[in-house]
Structures are given as C-alpha cells and as structure tokens.
Structure 1
Amino acid sequence: MEGIGNYRLEVKISADKLEAEIFLKVGEEDLESIVLKESDVYNALQTSKVKAGILEEVVQELCAIPAKYANARVTIARGVAPVDGTDAFIEYPYLATVSDEEGPKELEDGRVDFYNITSIPNVVKGQLLARKIPATPGTPGTAVTGEPIAPKAGKEINIKPGKNVVHNQERTMLYAAIDGQVSFTDQDKLNVFPVFEVNGDVDFGVGNIDFVGTVVIRGNVLNGFRVKASGDIRVLGSVEGAELYADGSIEIKSGIVAQDKGMIVAGKDIRTSFIQNANVTAGHQVIVSQSIMFSTVRAGKQIICKGPKGIIIGGVLQAGEKIAARVFGNNSATPTVLEVGVKPELRQELANIQKDLQNVYENLRKTDQGLGVLNQILHSGKELTTEKRIMQIKLTNTRLVLEKECKELEARKKELEIELKGEGPAAVEVYQVMYPGIKLTFGKLVHFIKHEYARTRFIVLDGEISTATLI
C-alpha cells in the first residue's frame, strides 16, 4: 500500500501470479481533486514487484479519469499462462487396414454371402504395429512479477511389446516378428499370434483346442468342449455349454446359449450378440448387442448392452465401472442383481479371505486349547513327558505361523473393504426403462428398485446411491 497525497494505491497479486489488480483508495471529499500521475502508478507497481504484462492503456485511463476508478479494483497487469504439455499416446497404424464393415456381403452375381461374414485382420512380418507419440514438455508462462511459470509436463507412457513383437532401439515403435493376428493381453501388451482356424464346428471331429496363439472357429462350439488360446478366440457361430479361455479377447458372433454349463473367460474383452444362462468373465469389458438373460457376468470395467433390444433380465452382473442397458428387468419383477464400483475379482477375493480367516481363527482356537492343557500340567508342578514337550514345541511354532497368516489376511481384508466402499466413479445407466425387482449394489451400498425408472443414471453421491436423468 502506498500513500501519495490525498489518495492511496494498493496493488494485489493473484495467487497464481497471473494477474495484478490496483485499488485507488480515495475519500469522498477528494474525488474531484484527484491528480494521478503515471509515474505514481508505475512506482506503486514496482514497489509490489509487478514488472511484466502491465496494461499501459489501463494505466493511461486510470490517470486520465481517476474518479471513474476510485475505490474500485481494476486489473492493471496480466501475465502469460503456461501451456501444459500433451500426454504421450500410442498410434496403431495397422488398424488403418482393418475394415469396420460387418455383415453379409453381396457377390458379383447378386447372391449374398452369409458364410464369410467376418474377415480376420492379419498382419505380416515386419509390419509397423504401434508408434509412440512422445509427451511434450509444454510452454512456460510469465508471472506479472516477471518470473517464469513452469508448465505441467505431459505424462509419459510405456509402449508394451508382448509375444512375437519387436521394438526399435529407441523403444518408440513396435513391429510384427511373424505373420499372424494382433492381440492385446494383460496390461495392454501388444502381441502377434499365429492363427489356428477351424472351418466348421468344434465337435467330436475336432476335439478340445489348446493353442499358443489366436483361434478362429468358423462354426459353433458345442456342449462339453474346451477351447484355450494365448491370444484371441473368434467364433463365427454360437457357443453352447462349453469352456472358452483366452488371454486376449473373445468374440462370438451368434451368441451364447450355455444352459448353465461351461464358462467363458477373457483377459480383455468379450463381444457377442446375446448371453443366455451362461457364466462369463472379462478383464475389461463385456459388450452385448441384444440381451443378457439369467447369466452370471463379470467385467473388470464395463458391461454394455445397448443395441436395438439391449435388455438384461435375471442373473448377477458385476462390473468395476459401469453397467449400461436399454432395459433392465421385466413386468414380472424378475430378480436381477447389478453390482458396480469395484472389480468383481476383489469381491470374490474378500469372500475367500473371510473364509480363510474363519479357518485360521478355528485353528488358533484349537492350538490355544492344546497349549492350555499343557500349561495346566506345568502349573500343577508336573513335568511334561518327552512326547508332550515335542507337542508343545510344535503347537508353539504352529501358533506363530497362524498369527502371521492371520495378520496378513486381516490387513488384506481391510484394504479390500476400503476399496469396496463404493466411493469410486461407478454408474448404472438405463437408456429406456428399469423395472422393479432389481437389486443395485455400489460397493457396500445397496438399493432395491421398487418402481419403474426411465432414462436414469444411478451413481454414488455424498455416500448415498443417487439418480440423475439421462438427456
């Protein structure tokens, strides 16, 4: 604050140092007699260490018409904000050669090909698969005090080569080491796997399949058969009560009718037209175009069913981030459980830990009971036989092991319970209607649907399950 004659000039710098304001403090009796010089303003700014971004036109107007700005704050200097850097990202040039068109194609003679509906995108040895675009550092800004303001640098990202993939010396590009099909597996590693094709059904003529690569089945997978792949599994027909395990993704064109048999597990995504009476687990997403009926479906991130029909009825669905469909349930209030807000495997791990803890507690009880009997013998003044001394040593060691195991399990249980509180960004989205009979679970928060909801998003807000209308 600087006093000059019958007025005072106060300069205030913003917290981010990108703006300075000046306040011309004048008494009512001195309003008409103010004479303010530009040198006085610059001196006040210099005293407050304002050196850069001074708005000369504001200084001039302030001095020309001081009564206009009396007892009011006016911006007198503006700095230059830093420009944050951009995050690194990865481009996938091979995707440019993959067609998004699906469905039957018309042949030259006018007939429609209903058999070769899906083309399998392959890459060749030496083909560029991924290119890392590095993060940028950003551009520094300037504070009104003249100091540089450092920008926020962009986040770097690691390019992750998997099997049959090589990178350049700088580790910025990935190339295919063999001919095959691209597959993303755990932690978004990019792989190229050889392709094993079955030109019909997986039946007694083919048998079970266990292939270190990607498996393409141009028919159906029948009851009781098993297909395992370290890459992806693509089925152009349907899957019955079979077992499918893929480290990558699983795509089933004609749907799953499992009759409560078998299991389908993918490390990344599962895509299909419908799921009925099946047990399905995906590390990332389950994407269904038509319906999910009376099934157990788990996804580390999302379960999406929003095609033209997009209906979910019955069963238990668990997703870490979101469950979305056009229609949930039916007029008959068929019980349907929707659980979001935590990865399903965490929920299962917690259940396993609670079971293990019960066993540990029971074993500790029995161990303490045995040691108690031996201690009673010692307290009575009797000596323990050799056999009982050996038993005492064994029980003491067992107790130490059980105590350690108990502490580890209890610590992990606490960690899981914190993650299960439902505080994460999770949602259930209804694009058309949700009928009564639905049980919503966000971590440990539970809500039973007792009336119809139309176009609604269910989220956790301030520790409670709340609703918002979808636009």
Structure 2
Amino acid sequence: MFKLAHNGNILLEVAQLNPPNAAFIVEALEKSPYADCEVDHESIEAFFKSDHPEKHLVVAKKVDAQLSIEVSDDKMIATAHLVTAKGGAKISLEQAKKVIIKAGVSRGYKQAYLEQVLQKQFELPPGANTKGIIAKGRPPVDGQAAKLIPHVTTLRERLKQPKLREDGSVDMRDFGKLASVAPGTLLISKQPATPGKEGFTVTGDSIPAKDGDTFELTAGDGAEISASNPLELIATIAGCPSDIQNGMRVDDVFTIGDVDVRSGHVDFNGSVIVTHNVAPGMKVKAKGDITVMGSVESGELISGGHIDVKQAAIGHVDHQNNDQGLTCRLVAAGDIHVAHGQYSHLEANNVFIAKQSNHCAIKATSLVQVGADDAPKGKLIGGEILDAQMVIAGEIGSESGAKMTVRLAHRGIEITSETDECLKALTKTSEQLNTLQSAIEKADQVKDAEKKKQLMAKIGATQMHYCEEAEVLEKKMSELELNLNGLLENTKLVANQALHPGVEIHIFDRVYKTTRSYPPCSASLVENKIEIEFKTS
C-alpha cells in the first residue's frame, strides 16, 4: 500500500487502494510502518481536489532529527534545542559535536549534558521539542583582599572587658592588668591578597578577574617589620599595643583616677586612661589613645589616636568668647566615641555618639553617626555639622524647627578652589609655550648658524620645562576631579526616623532647607541638586 521513495517521501499507490477521503489515508498511515513520519496534509488535500489525480500520492515524508545551538547574549550558556525525528534519522553523538563546534562553542562543554539531550530522542514522541544546557562559561572570581590578623589584645579591646566582681557584677572602672607586650612580641601579621581566577565564555573568550586589594603593613611607634618575615609586625618596646591604619603601634600607658586641679593637666607621649572624670578646665593631651571611663565636663582632650569617653562630653557656650566657642573640646586623629554629647566641639576621622547629640559642633573626615546599632536611632539636635561625608542618625533637627546647619562634602569647595588655581597656572604655562613658539620662529630666521643653535637649545630647554609643568598640572587636575567625584558620590545624610524643619543641608555648594517634618529619608546630590529620597518599608 505504502512505499518509501529514495528522497524520503512516503508514497501511496492510489489505484491499488482507491481511498475514499483524506481521513482514510491518515488512519491507514498511522497503522503502517511509517506512522512516525510527517503527514503531508497539503498533498493529500490537493489530490482530492484535483480533476486529474496522480497515480502515486505523496502522503508523508521522513524528517530527520534537528539540533541547533543557542548561545546566550552574555556567552555564558550554550543551550541545545532538539526536535526529535519524524520517521527519519536520529542525531548521533558525533553529528551533535560537529553542530556544537560550528556554533562556536569551545569551552565549558560537558559531553554528559549533551548525552542527556540526545537521550530524549528515545523517550519523546516524533517531532517533540526539547532543550538542555550543554556548555557553561565560568564567571571570574575576584581575589580576596589582604587582611590583618592580630596576635595580641589591643588597649581598646582590653577596655571592653571590665573585671567581674566575686558577686558576679561588673566593675566598670577596673579592667585588671592591661594588655602589655614585651619587646620582640608578634603583634600582627598580614595575610596576603589572593589573585583573581580568570573566567571564560562558552565561545572561548577570557574574562579577566580582579586581584584582591592589598596594602603595605605599617609599623607605628614602638613597632617594626620583622627582619625574618616582612608580613609580620613585632614590638620594639614594652607597652600596650594599639591599632593604627594597616598596622599597630606600642604605647606606654599612663593611668590616672581623675584629671582635676589636684592632678593638673596631662600631657603624655603614649596612651592615657582616666578611670574617673575630667574636671572643668582640665586638659589631656596624648600621642596615643585617650580613654575616659567617666565623663568630660568643659575639658579638652587632644589625641594622636582615638578618643573614647564612656559617659558624656558636656560643655556650654563660652559667653566671654567672641566666637561663642564651646567649652568642651575633643580632637582626635583617629575616631571619637562618646555616649552623649552636649555643647561640645568634636573633631575626628569618624565621630560616633551612642545616644544623643545636643548643640554640638562636629567635624568629621568621613562619618558622623548618632545611635549605636546597625540602623542608628539616636537624636542629632541643634548645633552644627562643620564638615562630614556622611551623617546618619535617627532624628535630625527638632520638632520646634530650631535652626541647625549640616555641611557635607565641604572639602569639595577646597578641591574646586585648588582646581581653579591649577587651571590658572596651566593657562599661564600655555601662554608661555605660545610665546616660546614665537621665539622659535624668530630664532629660525637668525643667519648665524652657531648663534641660531644656541638660541634653539635655550628655547628648547625652556619649552621642555613648561611642557613638564603642564603635564604635572594636568595630572593634578585629573586627580582633583576624581577626588571630587568620589567625594560627592559617597556623600549622604540619612535620617532613619525623622528629618525635622529648620535643618539647612549643605552638600558641596548646594543648599536645601527643610520646612516641614519628613519621614525616614536620605538627602544626596543628584545631578547637581540636593534630592530627598524617602525610605520604603
């Protein structure tokens, strides 16, 4: 009834069967050995409509399995799309591999993945569509940053561990023996950064990876890089270790109960621990850290390290001072930590106030944070932020609308001024170069060869000097621009609970004044304008 032609068509001898309709042919085909073949409905329908039908009718055809490869836009995934055969030949493993190579897939290929796809030819019905991943790229893995591994307890860490009394209570003023080290003690070691692991796409392209960030190990006073291992820092004197940027130092430690008229001012070359309070009018100056277990009242602390006041820093406005200065002043090269600040000048790299700031003047290189947890809820009331890159608090300002000024990225104005000076200098340099060019043209007209040679050499040397000067100025301007962009991109004010009226926000050279209370929000510079963005819960 049915026979297979050389071209893969399935033919029906019409005279032998004399089919009454198309349905009869299809039903007969489904019961034949060619049931899996693709029915040619168009040919069958044409037969019954024709006035002169053919003796041999094409009723179906064998269709081989089809395999195509799709590579994702990022070239990280190659997917095989398979259409199972309709009575035709299945795709062999070797044929499939050729299709993969032709598609440009050269890395990340797994034969097991391909075999899983091809196996579907024996499981799915004829003409079924299926797909499966046959190759995966490898994303790059950035290296891990270098890090410091401390081997001793620092002074700051020791002061977080007050001594337990026999009854189980804690004596907040007794910390037992301080963590002292002897000369030669290993203080800290540097774990080197690891290199990044290169990635690749399925088409064979390499994806570079970033090596881990690194830094130079820094030996502060009383410490040195080990002669036997450049990744280790050892003590050179006996004393208490303290953290510094990328390293440690070792300080002598001076401990005193109260700083008052009986003790006099304290000026010490190491670190100072005040186990009680700093009285009004008293000064403590230290090259290292200053830790006050009690409070500071109208006193002055100047530290080459960090300042930590466990209770309050409290002052008042000095009415005898024309600048309306504040009587309590804390200045640190590192960070300042206080529980509560009131009418105090606080100046440091980062300023952390655990509970509340009332009418303080605060200046920070980086961060001012009021509140102790990850989402600070402390109150920043009145006073002025003289400069900072970021301010985070629960509430900023007061409900009464009392005026308060917050200046962020104020250093940007200094950067802009410095850029302007560079531009002026560059303009003068360009003018000098133009003048020299005119001088060269005149010198070229000198007829005396020796004199012309001397003039050209002199002008050339001067030209070289100004070219080098211009290059230095251009490089400096580029660095200043990068510094300014980096500063402004990371500048933000964050109020986790409320931003009240009367707050005058300065970011760089832009100003925004709040006239009402805002719910949780942040303020930042967007397209040279201060924008308030409200937080979504």
Q: TM-score, normalised by structure 2?
A: 0.64
Change (3 A) 1:350 1:262: farther
Taking the aligned partners of 2:153 and 2:522, their CA distance within structure 1 comes to: 33
Structure 1 contact 422–443 (Cα < 8 Å) conserved: no
Match of 2:96 among 13, 25, 41: 41
Structure 2 contact 190–217 (Cα < 8 Å) conserved: yes
Change (3 A) 1:412 1:295: farther
Taking the aligned partners of 2:418 and 2:204, their CA distance within structure 1 comes to: 59
Taking the aligned partners of 1:279 and 1:174, their CA distance within structure 2 comes to: 35
Match of 1:255 among 284, 298, 312: 312
Give the match for residue 53 of structure 1: 110
Match of 1:217 among 255, 274, 283: 274
Give the match for residue 133 of structure 2: 75
Structure 1 contact 422–442 (Cα < 8 Å) conserved: no
Q: Post-superposition shift, 1:61?
A: 4.1
Please say if 1:245 is aligned against 2:287. no
Letter in 1 for 2:91: K
Match of 2:283 among 226, 234, 256: 226
Structure 1 contact 421–445 (Cα < 8 Å) conserved: no
Q: Post-superposition shift, 1:299?
A: 1.3
Change (3 A) 1:14 1:350: closer
Match of 1:154 among 212, 227, 234: 212
Taking the aligned partners of 2:389 and 2:501, their CA distance within structure 1 comes to: 22
Please say if 1:447 is aligned against 2:505. no
Give the match for residue 381 of structure 1: none
User: Unmatched 5+ residue regions in structure 1?
Assistant: 362-403
Taking the aligned partners of 1:100 and 1:12, their CA distance within structure 2 comes to: 62
- 1:93-242 matched pairs, under 5 angstroms: 93-95=151-153, 98=157, 107-108=165-166, 113=171, 115-116=173-174, 121-139=179-197, 143-144=201-202, 151-168=209-226, 169-185=228-244, 187-203=245-261, 205-242=262-299
Match of 1:304 among 369, 384, 387: 369
Change (3 A) 1:300 1:422: closer
Moved more, 74-83 or 310-319: 74-83
* Superimposed CA distance per residue, residues 264-310 of structure 1 (whole angstroms, 9 cap, x where no aligned partner): 21111101112222221102x11112221112101122111115972
Q: Post-superposition shift, 1:231?
A: 0.9
Paired residue total: 407
Q: Post-superposition shift, 1:319?
A: 5.4
Structure 2 contact 81–132 (Cα < 8 Å) conserved: yes
Q: Report the 3-state secondary structure (helix = DSSP H, G, I; strand = E; otherwise coil) of the residue aligned with 1:50.
A: coil
* Superimposed CA distance per residue, residues 117-163 of structure 1 (whole angstroms, 9 cap, x where no aligned partner): 79854444443321222222355556545787665433333221111
Please say if 1:334 is aligned against 2:391. no
Structure 2 contact 314–328 (Cα < 8 Å) conserved: no
Taking the aligned partners of 2:174 and 2:534, their CA distance within structure 1 comes to: 44
Q: Report the 3-state secondary structure (helix = DSSP H, G, I; strand = E; otherwise coil) of the residue aligned with 2:98.
A: helix
Structure 2 contact 519–534 (Cα < 8 Å) conserved: no
Q: Report the 3-state secondary structure (helix = DSSP H, G, I; strand = E; otherwise coil) of the residue aligned with 2:128.
A: helix
Taking the aligned partners of 2:518 and 2:332, their CA distance within structure 1 comes to: 32
Structure 1 contact 125–176 (Cα < 8 Å) conserved: yes
Change (3 A) 1:348 1:261: farther
Please say if 1:90 is aligned against 2:156. no
Taking the aligned partners of 2:201 and 2:487, their CA distance within structure 1 comes to: 42
Moved more, 175-184 or 110-119: 110-119
Structure 1 contact 41–59 (Cα < 8 Å) conserved: no
* Superimposed CA distance per residue, residues 387-446 of structure 1 (whole angstroms, 9 cap, x where no aligned partner): xxxxxxxxxxxxxxxxx9xx98xx879937972796312332223333211122333343
Change (3 A) 1:162 1:15: farther
Q: Report the 3-state secondary structure (helix = DSSP H, G, I; strand = E; otherwise coil) of the residue aligned with 1:207.
A: coil
Higher relative contact order (CA 8 A, sep 6+): 1
Taking the aligned partners of 1:133 and 1:111, their CA distance within structure 2 comes to: 39
User: Unmatched 5+ residue regions in structure 2?
Assistant: 1-62, 317-325, 426-468
Taking the aligned partners of 2:352 and 2:487, their CA distance within structure 1 comes to: 23
Taking the aligned partners of 1:470 and 1:318, their CA distance within structure 2 comes to: 30
Structure 1 contact 201–218 (Cα < 8 Å) conserved: no
Taking the aligned partners of 1:413 and 1:76, their CA distance within structure 2 comes to: 48
Instruction: Say which one has the larger Rg.
Output: 2
Q: Post-superposition shift, 1:175?
A: 2.3
Letter in 1 for 2:332: A
Letter in 2 for 1:257: I
Q: Report the 3-state secondary structure (helix = DSSP H, G, I; strand = E; otherwise coil) of the residue aligned with 1:43.
A: helix
Change (3 A) 1:447 1:173: same
Give the match for residue 385 of structure 2: 317
Q: Post-superposition shift, 1:14?
A: 4.8
Q: Post-superposition shift, 1:42?
A: 1.3
Letter in 2 for 1:276: Q
Q: Post-superposition shift, 1:9?
A: 5.7
Taking the aligned partners of 1:286 and 1:109, their CA distance within structure 2 comes to: 36
Change (3 A) 1:82 1:109: closer
Q: Post-superposition shift, 1:43?
A: 1.2
Change (3 A) 1:125 1:227: same
- 1:351-430 matched pairs, under 5 angstroms: 415=480, 419=484, 423-430=488-495
Q: Report the 3-state secondary structure (helix = DSSP H, G, I; strand = E; otherwise coil) of the residue aligned with 1:37.
A: coil
Give the match for residue 267 of structure 1: 333
Give the match for residue 356 of structure 2: 291
Give the match for residue 371 of structure 1: none
Q: TM-score, normalised by structure 1?
A: 0.71
